[in-house]
Amino acid sequence: MTTGLKIQGRVALVTGANRGIGLALVEALLERGARKIYGGARKPEALANLAARSQGVVVPLQLDITKATEVQQAAGRAQDVDLLINNAAIVGHSFGGFEDPLWLEAAPREYETNVVGSLRLSQAFAPILARNGGGTLVNISSAAGLVGLPPVLTYSSTKAALHSITQSTRQMLKEQGTRVVGVYPGPVDTDMASQLTLPKAPPSSVANAILDGLEQGQEDIYPDTLAREYGEAYAVNPKSLERRIAAMNAALD
Protein backbone atom coordinates (compact mmCIF):
# COMPACT_ATOMS: atom_id res chain seq x y z
CA MET A 1 0.00 0.00 0.00
CA THR A 2 1.33 3.43 -0.95
CA THR A 3 2.18 5.65 1.99
CA GLY A 4 0.14 8.82 2.16
CA LEU A 5 1.52 12.34 2.18
CA LYS A 6 1.18 14.27 5.42
CA ILE A 7 0.13 17.83 4.56
CA GLN A 8 1.07 19.32 7.93
CA GLY A 9 4.52 20.89 7.78
CA ARG A 10 4.76 20.81 3.97
CA VAL A 11 6.07 23.66 1.83
CA ALA A 12 3.78 23.90 -1.18
CA LEU A 13 3.61 25.89 -4.39
CA VAL A 14 0.21 26.22 -6.06
CA THR A 15 -0.08 27.85 -9.48
CA GLY A 16 -3.19 29.77 -10.50
CA ALA A 17 -3.61 30.47 -6.80
CA ASN A 18 -5.64 33.65 -6.99
CA ARG A 19 -9.02 32.06 -7.79
CA GLY A 20 -11.01 28.87 -8.31
CA ILE A 21 -9.47 25.55 -7.37
CA GLY A 22 -6.07 27.16 -6.85
CA LEU A 23 -7.30 29.57 -4.20
CA ALA A 24 -9.33 26.80 -2.56
CA LEU A 25 -6.19 24.64 -2.44
CA VAL A 26 -4.20 27.42 -0.78
CA GLU A 27 -6.93 27.81 1.86
CA ALA A 28 -7.19 24.04 2.41
CA LEU A 29 -3.41 23.67 2.73
CA LEU A 30 -3.43 26.47 5.27
CA GLU A 31 -6.19 24.78 7.28
CA ARG A 32 -4.26 21.50 7.32
CA GLY A 33 -1.11 23.03 8.72
CA ALA A 34 1.21 23.49 5.75
CA ARG A 35 4.33 25.31 6.92
CA LYS A 36 4.54 27.60 3.89
CA ILE A 37 2.37 28.02 0.80
CA TYR A 38 3.66 29.89 -2.22
CA GLY A 39 0.67 31.21 -4.14
CA GLY A 40 1.78 31.57 -7.73
CA ALA A 41 -0.32 33.97 -9.81
CA ARG A 42 -0.09 36.49 -12.62
CA LYS A 43 -1.61 38.97 -10.16
CA PRO A 44 -0.19 37.96 -6.77
CA GLU A 45 -1.64 41.09 -5.14
CA ALA A 46 -4.97 39.24 -5.14
CA LEU A 47 -3.52 37.07 -2.35
CA ALA A 48 -2.37 39.97 -0.16
CA ASN A 49 -5.25 39.76 2.33
CA LEU A 50 -4.94 36.00 2.72
CA ALA A 51 -1.18 36.34 3.18
CA ALA A 52 -1.72 38.89 5.95
CA ARG A 53 -4.35 36.76 7.71
CA SER A 54 -2.05 33.74 7.55
CA GLN A 55 0.72 35.69 9.29
CA GLY A 56 3.12 35.04 6.44
CA VAL A 57 2.41 31.35 5.85
CA VAL A 58 0.91 32.23 2.46
CA VAL A 59 3.56 33.85 0.27
CA PRO A 60 2.26 35.52 -2.92
CA LEU A 61 4.55 34.79 -5.84
CA GLN A 62 4.65 36.52 -9.22
CA LEU A 63 4.33 33.64 -11.64
CA ASP A 64 3.12 33.43 -15.21
CA ILE A 65 4.01 29.87 -16.21
CA THR A 66 4.12 30.84 -19.89
CA LYS A 67 7.14 33.06 -19.16
CA ALA A 68 10.42 31.18 -18.71
CA THR A 69 12.01 34.09 -16.84
CA GLU A 70 9.27 34.18 -14.20
CA VAL A 71 9.44 30.40 -13.78
CA GLN A 72 13.19 30.56 -13.18
CA GLN A 73 12.77 33.44 -10.74
CA ALA A 74 10.14 31.47 -8.85
CA ALA A 75 12.42 28.44 -8.69
CA GLY A 76 15.22 30.62 -7.37
CA ARG A 77 13.03 32.04 -4.64
CA ALA A 78 11.13 28.88 -3.61
CA GLN A 79 14.02 26.51 -2.94
CA ASP A 80 12.22 24.86 -0.03
CA VAL A 81 9.22 23.49 -1.96
CA ASP A 82 8.42 19.79 -1.46
CA LEU A 83 4.86 19.84 -2.85
CA LEU A 84 4.29 21.32 -6.31
CA ILE A 85 0.71 21.65 -7.59
CA ASN A 86 0.36 22.53 -11.28
CA ASN A 87 -3.13 24.01 -11.27
CA ALA A 88 -2.98 27.03 -13.61
CA ALA A 89 -5.04 26.56 -16.77
CA ILE A 90 -7.17 28.49 -19.24
CA VAL A 91 -10.11 27.83 -21.55
CA GLY A 92 -9.60 29.84 -24.71
CA HIS A 93 -12.84 28.97 -26.52
CA SER A 94 -15.92 26.82 -26.04
CA PHE A 95 -19.20 25.77 -27.65
CA GLY A 96 -18.12 26.35 -31.24
CA GLY A 97 -18.89 24.19 -34.26
CA PHE A 98 -16.10 22.03 -35.63
CA GLU A 99 -15.22 24.51 -38.40
CA ASP A 100 -15.15 27.48 -36.03
CA PRO A 101 -11.81 29.25 -36.70
CA LEU A 102 -11.61 30.37 -33.06
CA TRP A 103 -10.52 26.84 -32.09
CA LEU A 104 -7.26 27.46 -33.94
CA GLU A 105 -6.78 30.77 -32.17
CA ALA A 106 -7.51 29.28 -28.76
CA ALA A 107 -5.41 26.13 -29.08
CA PRO A 108 -1.91 27.70 -29.00
CA ARG A 109 -2.76 29.78 -25.93
CA GLU A 110 -4.32 26.82 -24.15
CA TYR A 111 -1.41 24.52 -24.93
CA GLU A 112 1.15 27.11 -23.86
CA THR A 113 -0.46 27.38 -20.43
CA ASN A 114 -2.10 24.02 -19.77
CA VAL A 115 0.62 21.80 -21.20
CA VAL A 116 3.90 23.60 -21.91
CA GLY A 117 3.62 25.89 -18.89
CA SER A 118 3.00 23.03 -16.49
CA LEU A 119 5.89 21.05 -18.00
CA ARG A 120 8.13 24.12 -17.80
CA LEU A 121 7.42 24.54 -14.10
CA SER A 122 7.85 20.83 -13.41
CA GLN A 123 11.26 20.83 -15.09
CA ALA A 124 12.36 23.88 -13.09
CA PHE A 125 11.25 22.39 -9.76
CA ALA A 126 12.22 18.74 -10.27
CA PRO A 127 15.77 19.33 -8.95
CA ILE A 128 14.36 21.25 -5.99
CA LEU A 129 11.99 18.41 -5.15
CA ALA A 130 14.88 15.96 -5.44
CA ARG A 131 16.97 17.97 -2.99
CA ASN A 132 14.04 18.13 -0.59
CA GLY A 133 13.64 14.39 -0.28
CA GLY A 134 11.90 13.72 -3.57
CA GLY A 135 8.69 15.55 -2.81
CA THR A 136 5.37 15.36 -4.61
CA LEU A 137 4.34 16.78 -7.98
CA VAL A 138 0.61 17.15 -8.66
CA ASN A 139 -0.86 17.87 -12.09
CA ILE A 140 -4.46 19.09 -12.11
CA SER A 141 -5.78 17.58 -15.33
CA SER A 142 -9.52 17.11 -15.84
CA ALA A 143 -12.18 14.50 -16.47
CA ALA A 144 -12.12 16.15 -19.89
CA GLY A 145 -8.62 14.74 -20.26
CA LEU A 146 -9.97 11.18 -20.10
CA VAL A 147 -12.48 11.60 -22.93
CA GLY A 148 -12.90 14.22 -25.62
CA LEU A 149 -15.58 16.81 -24.80
CA PRO A 150 -16.73 18.62 -27.97
CA PRO A 151 -17.93 21.81 -26.19
CA VAL A 152 -14.33 22.37 -25.06
CA LEU A 153 -12.61 20.71 -28.01
CA THR A 154 -9.11 22.14 -27.67
CA TYR A 155 -9.11 22.55 -23.88
CA SER A 156 -10.08 18.89 -23.55
CA SER A 157 -7.15 17.91 -25.74
CA THR A 158 -4.73 19.91 -23.57
CA LYS A 159 -5.88 18.03 -20.50
CA ALA A 160 -5.40 14.73 -22.34
CA ALA A 161 -1.86 15.87 -23.11
CA LEU A 162 -1.28 16.74 -19.45
CA HIS A 163 -2.58 13.29 -18.49
CA SER A 164 0.04 11.74 -20.78
CA ILE A 165 2.76 13.99 -19.40
CA THR A 166 1.74 13.01 -15.87
CA GLN A 167 2.20 9.32 -16.67
CA SER A 168 5.59 9.88 -18.30
CA THR A 169 6.77 12.21 -15.53
CA ARG A 170 5.82 9.57 -12.96
CA GLN A 171 8.25 7.15 -14.61
CA MET A 172 10.98 9.68 -15.30
CA LEU A 173 11.13 11.08 -11.75
CA LYS A 174 10.70 7.78 -9.95
CA GLU A 175 14.43 7.29 -9.36
CA GLN A 176 14.77 10.66 -7.61
CA GLY A 177 11.94 9.68 -5.27
CA THR A 178 9.34 12.16 -6.54
CA ARG A 179 5.74 11.04 -6.29
CA VAL A 180 3.69 12.22 -9.30
CA VAL A 181 -0.08 12.47 -8.93
CA GLY A 182 -2.79 13.16 -11.51
CA VAL A 183 -6.05 14.88 -10.55
CA TYR A 184 -9.15 14.68 -12.76
CA PRO A 185 -11.96 16.99 -11.60
CA GLY A 186 -15.35 17.17 -13.26
CA PRO A 187 -17.18 20.51 -13.58
CA VAL A 188 -16.24 22.86 -10.74
CA ASP A 189 -18.06 26.07 -9.84
CA THR A 190 -15.39 28.50 -11.03
CA ASP A 191 -15.21 31.38 -13.50
CA MET A 192 -13.65 29.03 -16.05
CA ALA A 193 -16.72 26.75 -16.01
CA SER A 194 -19.30 29.55 -15.96
CA GLN A 195 -20.83 28.55 -19.32
CA LEU A 196 -21.37 24.91 -18.37
CA THR A 197 -24.90 24.00 -17.33
CA LEU A 198 -23.93 20.71 -15.66
CA PRO A 199 -24.03 20.42 -11.85
CA LYS A 200 -20.76 21.77 -10.48
CA ALA A 201 -18.81 20.89 -7.37
CA PRO A 202 -17.74 23.68 -4.98
CA PRO A 203 -14.01 24.49 -5.25
CA SER A 204 -13.57 23.98 -1.50
CA SER A 205 -14.87 20.40 -1.61
CA VAL A 206 -12.69 19.61 -4.63
CA ALA A 207 -9.61 21.07 -2.93
CA ASN A 208 -10.21 19.05 0.23
CA ALA A 209 -10.82 15.88 -1.78
CA ILE A 210 -7.49 16.44 -3.55
CA LEU A 211 -5.67 16.78 -0.23
CA ASP A 212 -7.54 13.75 1.14
CA GLY A 213 -6.32 11.77 -1.87
CA LEU A 214 -2.74 12.87 -1.29
CA GLU A 215 -2.93 11.91 2.37
CA GLN A 216 -4.37 8.52 1.41
CA GLY A 217 -1.56 7.87 -1.07
CA GLN A 218 -3.71 7.91 -4.20
CA GLU A 219 -1.89 8.22 -7.52
CA ASP A 220 -4.96 9.24 -9.55
CA ILE A 221 -7.48 11.42 -7.76
CA TYR A 222 -11.12 11.91 -8.83
CA PRO A 223 -12.29 14.64 -6.45
CA ASP A 224 -16.04 14.87 -7.16
CA THR A 225 -19.01 12.70 -8.09
CA LEU A 226 -18.85 13.13 -11.87
CA ALA A 227 -15.08 12.69 -11.86
CA ARG A 228 -15.42 9.38 -10.02
CA GLU A 229 -18.06 8.18 -12.50
CA TYR A 230 -15.82 9.08 -15.44
CA GLY A 231 -12.78 7.56 -13.76
CA GLU A 232 -14.54 4.26 -13.11
CA ALA A 233 -15.85 4.10 -16.69
CA TYR A 234 -12.43 4.99 -18.10
CA ALA A 235 -10.76 2.24 -16.06
CA VAL A 236 -13.21 -0.44 -17.21
CA ASN A 237 -14.01 0.53 -20.80
CA PRO A 238 -12.78 3.84 -22.29
CA LYS A 239 -14.93 3.33 -25.40
CA SER A 240 -18.07 3.19 -23.29
CA LEU A 241 -17.17 6.59 -21.86
CA GLU A 242 -16.78 7.99 -25.38
CA ARG A 243 -20.20 6.61 -26.31
CA ARG A 244 -21.71 8.15 -23.17
CA ILE A 245 -20.40 11.58 -24.13
CA ALA A 246 -21.65 11.13 -27.71
CA ALA A 247 -25.12 10.30 -26.41
CA MET A 248 -25.11 13.38 -24.17
CA ASN A 249 -24.11 15.60 -27.10
CA ALA A 250 -26.78 14.08 -29.34
CA ALA A 251 -29.42 14.80 -26.70
CA LEU A 252 -28.38 18.46 -26.66
CA ASP A 253 -28.65 18.88 -30.45
Handedness of CA 178, 221, 114, 169 (dihedral sign): positive
Sign of CA dihedral 64, 65, 69, 71: positive
* The pLDDT of residue 195 is above 90: no
pLDDT band at 2 (very low <50, low <70, confident <90, very high): low
What is 193-213 written as a DSSP string? GTT--S--B-HHHHHHHHHHH
| Average confidence (pLDDT) over 90-107 | 97
Whether the per-residue pLDDT at 206 is higher than 70: the answer is yes
Looking at the 3D structure of the chain, how many domains does it have?
1
Dihedral sign for Cα atoms in the order 241, 243, 244, 246? positive
Q: Which residues are catalytic?
A: 155, 159
What is the domain-level CATH number for residue 126? 3.40.50.720
Is pLDDT at 12 greater than 90 in this prediction? Answer: yes
pLDDT at 1: 46
Arithmetic mean of pLDDT over the chain:
94
Domain presence at residue 145? yes
pLDDT interval class at 235 (50, 70, 90): very high
Q: What is the mean pLDDT of residues 161-181?
A: 98
- What pLDDT score was predicted for residue 196? 58
In a domain, 1, yes or no: no
Domain with 38, as residue range(s), is 11-252
Within-domain flag for 244: yes
Task: Find out whether 109 and 3 touch, Cβ atoms under 8 Å.
Answer: no
Sign of CA dihedral 97, 99, 104, 107: positive
pLDDT score recorded for residue 253: 61
